[in-house]
């Protein structure tokens, strides 16, 4: 299966593309005219033509006064929501009408992101207008990652995809994909600059949250000199970084602590995979929502005997949301791609309807079929 090392798209384009391949003819015509599919896997950032097309699309919508729909991926993290709110604030400052949405069940902003500026723009998927001429998606590698909002993006005439996932399938009509960016907010920051919008404290804070969450506070390998340069600009624009980081990383409901204890108490090492799980019953006993289970992987992955860490989180419908992390040798993005999910080489995920043991077995089998990372 050596193709995985050279063609990451091959691992993930199938399920999403096939399942949601309902793009309108006008969408296909736009995408085709820009050679989008061929450039989706480019190792660097967007081409000058892609930047020009994206800026023109946004400027036209602002000038026309039509509502612009901004969509984050399901159960949005700091990067997805920070990106959508940042561009929303920028567009509002230019006089545009914007609406931000995403799928989450039950619907709501995760507790530790409720301080993000721009929440007034957020509506539940049921309230999302069905006639917006332009939709922009953030941090979303494939159409299915929009959940119940996927049909909206599949049928809207113009869809600008802003992302940094190597596994991006190239959906939409216009693409700003930078696989070298540590966060989608880095790409959004560049777009905000091209739109000539100055960085207010609020806008900078939304960008900063995406940057610190996706880089793990500038620790992960995707962190670049550009990430630090952007952080410096954002701090100069007024971001209160100590306050923001306290809320993002170090503020949890009390029930998080017993939940963490339960999850860590049943950690197991299987070969070089360290893993644990959190059930719906565990969440109920701790009195917290699924969002509180998201950061458990950050503790589990510290086991030095492991190459890969896995946390299975049970959703209300009984399915497992699986988070995976690699210490550097295993391409978990490719492995998760084989199971219908995706992500980055060192941080990825998928959804499973099998029981926990079968899910882990299938993941280990997928890892075995994946070419190891070399550097």
- How far is the C-alpha of 366 from the C-alpha of 64, rounded, in Å? 48
Residues in the chain: 375
- Judged by beta carbon, residue 30 or residue 145, the one nearer ligand AMP is 145
**Smallest distance, ligand AMP to C-beta of residue 297, A:** 6
| 191 closest CA partner among 119, 81, 71, 83 | 83
138 binds ligand AMP (CB under 6 A): no
**Smallest distance, ligand AMP to C-beta of residue 161, A:** 14
| 100 closest CA partner among 140, 73, 72, 78 | 72
Matching residue, tokens 């992390």: 325
Helix or strand run (H / E) with residue 70: strand 67-72
Q: Which does 348 bind (CB under 5 to 8 A by kind): Mn ion, ligand AMP, none?
A: ligand AMP
- The 3-class SS string of 335-361 reads HHHHCCCEECCCEEEEEECCCHHHHHH
Q: Which of 136, 301, 344, 367 binds ligand AMP (CB under 6 A)?
A: 344
349 binds ligand AMP (CB under 6 A): yes
17 binds ligand AMP (CB under 6 A): no
291 binds Mn ion (CB under 5 A): no
342 binds ligand AMP (CB under 6 A): yes
How many residues bind Mn ion (CB under 5 A)? The answer is 6
Q: Count Cβ atoms within 10 A of the Cβ of residue 310 and give its class: 0-12 exposed, 13-18 middle, 19 or more buried.
A: buried
- Judged by beta carbon, residue 27 or residue 323, the one nearer ligand AMP is 323
- Judged by beta carbon, residue 77 or residue 282, the one nearer Mn ion is 77
Q: Which of 54, 68, 79, 112 binds Mn ion (CB under 5 A)?
A: 79
Contact partners, residue 122, CB within 8 Å, separation at least 6: 85, 100, 101, 109
The residues facing 269 across adjacent strands are: 274
- Judged by beta carbon, residue 199 or residue 222, the one nearer ligand AMP is 222
Binding mask 84-123 for Mn ion (x = CB under 5 A): ----------------------------------------
78 binds ligand AMP (CB under 6 A): no
Instruction: Pick the piece of the chain touching ligand AMP (CB under 6 A) from 54-62, 200-208, 341-349, 361-369.
Output: 341-349
Q: Which of 208, 341, 360, 370 binds ligand AMP (CB under 6 A)?
A: 341
Contact partners, residue 251, CB within 8 Å, separation at least 6: 112
> Does residue 143 have a cis bond before it (omega within 30 degrees)?
no
- How far is the C-alpha of 215 from the C-alpha of 118, rounded, in Å? 22
- Judged by beta carbon, residue 30 or residue 344, the one nearer ligand AMP is 344
Instruction: Pick the piece of the chain touching Mn ion (CB under 5 A) from 84-92, 206-214, 241-249, 289-297.
Output: 206-214
> How distant, in Å, are the alpha carbons of 133, 156, 210, 217, 322 from that of 137?
13, 12, 15, 24, 23
Six token digits for residue 73: 């991926």
Binding mask 157-186 for Mn ion (x = CB under 5 A): ---------------------------x--
For Mn ion, the binding residues (CB under 5 A) are 77, 79-80, 139, 184, 214
Which spans of this chain sit near ligand AMP (rule: CB under 6 A)?
Answer: 141, 145, 323, 341-344, 347-351
């Amino acid at each position: 299966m050596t193709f995985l090392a050279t063609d990451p798209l091959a691992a993930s384009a199938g399920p999403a593309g096939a399942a949601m391949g309902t793009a309108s003819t006008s969408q296909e015509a736009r995408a085709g005219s820009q050679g989008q599919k061929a450039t989706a896997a480019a190792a660097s950032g967007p081409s000058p033509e892609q930047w020009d097309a994206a800026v023109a699309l946004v400027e036209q919508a602002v000038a026309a006064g039509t509502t612009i729909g901004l969509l984050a991926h399901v159960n949005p993290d700091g990067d997805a929501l920070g990106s959508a709110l940042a561009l929303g604030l920028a567009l509002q400052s230019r006089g545009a009408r914007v609406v931000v949405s995403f799928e989450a069940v039950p619907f709501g902003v995760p507790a530790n992101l409720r301080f993000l500026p721009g929440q007034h723009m957020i509506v539940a998927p049921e309230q999302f207008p069905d006639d917006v001429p332009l939709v922009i998606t953030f941090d979303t590698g494939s159409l299915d990652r929009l959940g119940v909002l996927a049909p909206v993006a599949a049928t809207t005439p113009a869809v600008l995809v802003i992302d940094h996932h190597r596994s991006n399938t190239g959906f939409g009509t216009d693409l700003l994909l930078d696989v070298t960016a540590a966060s989608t907010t880095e790409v959004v920051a560049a777009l905000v600059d091209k739109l000539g919008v100055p960085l207010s404290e609020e806008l900078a804070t939304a960008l900063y949250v995406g940057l610190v969450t996706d880089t793990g506070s500038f620790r992960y390998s995707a962190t670049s000199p550009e990430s630090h340069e952007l952080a410096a600009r954002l701090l100069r624009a007024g971001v209160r970084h100590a306050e923001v980081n306290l809320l993002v990383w170090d503020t949890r409901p009390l029930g998080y602590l017993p939940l963490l204890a339960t999850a860590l108490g049943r950690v197991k090492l299987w070969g070089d995979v360290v893993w644990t799980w959190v059930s719906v019953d565990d969440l109920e006993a701790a009195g917290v929502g699924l969002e509180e289970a998201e950061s458990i992987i950050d503790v589990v992955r510290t086991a030095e005997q492991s190459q890969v860490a896995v946390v299975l989180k049970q959703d209300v419908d009984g399915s497992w949301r699986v988070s995976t992390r690699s210490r550097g040798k295993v391409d978990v993005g490719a492995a998760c791609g084989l199971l219908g999910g995706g992500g980055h080489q060192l941080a990825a995920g998928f959804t499973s309807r099998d029981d926990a043991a079968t899910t882990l077995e299938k993941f280990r089998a997928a890892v075995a079929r994946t070419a190891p990372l070399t550097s």
